[in-house]
Amino acid sequence: MPHSAFTLESLLETHDLPLIIIGADLRIVAVNRAWENSFGVMRQNLVGQPCCAENRNCRHQRLFQTLEAYAGIFADTNDASSQRSFSARGFPLLDADATLYLGETLTVLKRSAAKGNEAPAMIGKSAVFAQYKTRLRQAADTQAPVLLLGETGTGKELAAEFVHSHSRQADGDFVIVDCTILGEELFESELFGHEKGAFTGATSAKKGLFELANNGTLFFDEIGELPLSQQPKLLRALESGQFRRVGGTAMQKASVRVVCATHRNLADMVKAGRFREDLFYRLSVFPVEVPPLRQRRQDLPLLIDHFLAQLNTEADSGYAITQTALIKLIQYAWPGNIRELRNCLQLAAGLCQDNSIQEADIHFMQRQGLGEPAAATEASGDAHSPPINSMAQFEAEFINSLISKYQGNRKLIAAEMNISERTLYRKLNRLNLN
Ligand SMILES: Nc1ncnc2c1ncn2[C@@H]1O[C@H](COP(=O)(O)OP(=O)(O)OP(=O)(O)O)[C@@H](O)[C@H]1O
For residue 148, give the ligand 1 atom closest to its CA. 21
| 156 CA → ligand 1 middle, Å | 6
Average pLDDT of the chain?
82
Which of the four pLDDT bands, split at 50, 70 and 90, describes residue 119?
low
For residue 158, give the ligand 1 atom closest to its CA. 18
Residue range 252-270: average pLDDT?
94
Residue nearest to atom 8 of ligand 1 (CA): 155
Could you tell me the CA-to-CA distances from 1 to 8, 46, 47, 315, 360 in Å, in that order? 11, 20, 17, 17, 21
Q: Is the shortest distance between the CB of 342 and ligand 1 below 6 Å? A: yes
CATH class, range 390-430: mainly alpha
How much is the pTM?
0.73
Determine contact, residues 303/344, Cβ cutoff 8 Å. no
Domain boundaries, the chain: 3-107, 113-289, 294-361, 390-430
Confirm or reject CATH 3.20.20.70 for domain 3-107, answering yes or no.
Answer: no
Say what the ipTM of the complex is. 0.96
Q: Is the shortest distance between the CB of 157 and ligand 1 below 6 Å? A: yes
Say if residue 84 is exposed, middle or buried (CB neighbours under 10 Å; 0-12, 13-18, 19+): buried
Alpha helices by DSSP H, 28-155: 33-39, 59-66, 127-141
Residue nearest to atom 23 of ligand 1 (CA): 153
| 176 CA → ligand 1 middle, Å | 14
The pLDDT of residue 2 is: 38
* CATH domain 294-361 topology: Helicase, Ruva Protein; domain 3 (1.10.8)
Q: Is the shortest distance between the CB of 224 and ligand 1 below 6 Å? A: no
Q: How far apart are CA 259 and CA 270, in angstroms?
A: 19
For residue 341, give the ligand 1 atom closest to its CA. 12
The pLDDT of residue 265 is: 94
Return the closest-CA partner of residue 162 out of 205, 122, 135: 122
Q: How far apart are CA 149 and CA 291, in angstroms?
A: 9
Residue nearest to atom 29 of ligand 1 (CA): 339
Q: Percent of the chain, pLDDT > 70?
A: 85
- Mutation test of ligand 1: which of 33, 132, 158 has the most ligand atoms closer than 8 Å to its C-beta? 158
Q: Is the shortest distance between the CB of 135 and ligand 1 below 6 Å? A: no
Residue range 70-89: average pLDDT?
71
Residue range 44-73: average pLDDT?
81
Determine contact, residues 376/331, Cβ cutoff 8 Å. yes
Determine contact, residues 217/174, Cβ cutoff 8 Å. yes
What angle (nearest 5°) sits at the alpha carbon of residue 205, between those of residues 199 and 206? 100
Determine contact, residues 230/192, Cβ cutoff 8 Å. no
3-state SS, residue 27: strand
Determine contact, residues 147/283, Cβ cutoff 8 Å. yes
Could you tell me the CA-to-CA distances from 421 to 11, 88, 89, 93, 177 in Å, in that order? 17, 10, 7, 13, 16
Residue nearest to atom 18 of ligand 1 (CA): 155
Do 294-361 and 3-107 fall under one CATH topology?
no
Q: Is the shortest distance between the CB of 263 and ligand 1 below 6 Å? A: yes
Say if residue 368 is exposed, middle or buried (CB neighbours under 10 Å; 0-12, 13-18, 19+): middle
3-state SS, residue 229: helix
Q: Which CATH architecture has domain 113-289?
A: 3-Layer(aba) Sandwich (3.40)
Q: How far apart are CA 242 and CA 177, in angstroms?
A: 18
